[in-house]
Amino acid sequence: MKAIGSALQREIAQRKPFRSPAHEAALGILRTADVVRQAAARIVEPAGVTLQQYNVLRILRGAGAEGLPTLTIAERMIERSPGVTRLIDRLERAGLVARERGEEDRRQVLCRITPAGLKLLAGIDETVDGADGNVVGGLSRAELQRLIRLLDKVRAGHR
């Protein structure tokens, strides 16, 4: 039996060649994103939050005491979610996020991370940082910089 071609072909047990290098690259990005997402979820879920909730908490920690409107949070998320309000609802019920109406514009709802949310993040920061290093641990600094540029270029083509 003849060996299957690329690493991706072997991983997904695809016997036929990809339709094109672009097809293989696109599937490779999707498969890699799934592997990275699963690894990240295994780290944050024991802390009682989903990966998307973790992302919201990180965004709010970065916003500081000023907080952010819900729509701005949605725009900044790594993995876009149409249900950002529901995500924030769950975080608020857990005491990790607080919401209040804007003083100037009562239609605007500002979200802020609570001390409990900050404590949760502080408790997993080191583990997350280590996992980030493990995800790309096989790459040199130059390869990381090249990968970052290439991924930027792929996303720029879809803006």
Q: Which pTM was predicted?
A: 0.84
In this prediction, residue 8 carries a pLDDT of: 87
In this prediction, residue 102 carries a pLDDT of: 67
Q: How many CB atoms lie within 10 A of CB 51?
A: 16
pLDDT digits (tens, 9 = 90+) for 74-113: 999 998 877 899 999 999 999 999 998 767 776 778 999 9
Question: Tell me, what DSSP letter sits at residue 65?
Answer: G
In this prediction, residue 1 carries a pLDDT of: 41
The answer, yes or no, to whether residue 135 has pLDDT greater than 90, is: no
Give CA–CA dist 97/107, Å, rounded: 19
Given the structure tokens 């990275």, which residue do they identify?
36
Band of pLDDT at residue 3, cut at 50, 70 and 90: low
How far is CA 50 from each of CA 20, 96, 106, rounded to the nearest angstrom? 35, 13, 30
In this prediction, residue 119 carries a pLDDT of: 97
- Name the H helices within 98-140: 115-135
CA atoms within 13 A on the CB side of 72: 13
Q: How many residues does the chain have?
A: 159
| Mean pLDDT value of segment 125-151 | 90
DSSP three-state, residue 96: coil
With beta carbons less than 8 A apart as the criterion, state whether 105 and 152 touch: no
pLDDT digits (tens, 9 = 90+) for 10-29: 888 888 888 888 998 999 99
The DSSP bridge partners found for residue 69 are 110
pLDDT digits (tens, 9 = 90+) for 39-87: 899 999 999 999 999 999 999 999 999 999 999 999 999 988 778 999 9
* Domain range summary for the chain, segments of one domain joined by +: 7-156
In this prediction, residue 157 carries a pLDDT of: 87
Which fold is adopted by the domain 7-156?
A: Arc Repressor Mutant, subunit A (1.10.10)
Q: How many CB atoms lie within 10 A of CB 88?
A: 22
In this prediction, residue 4 carries a pLDDT of: 57
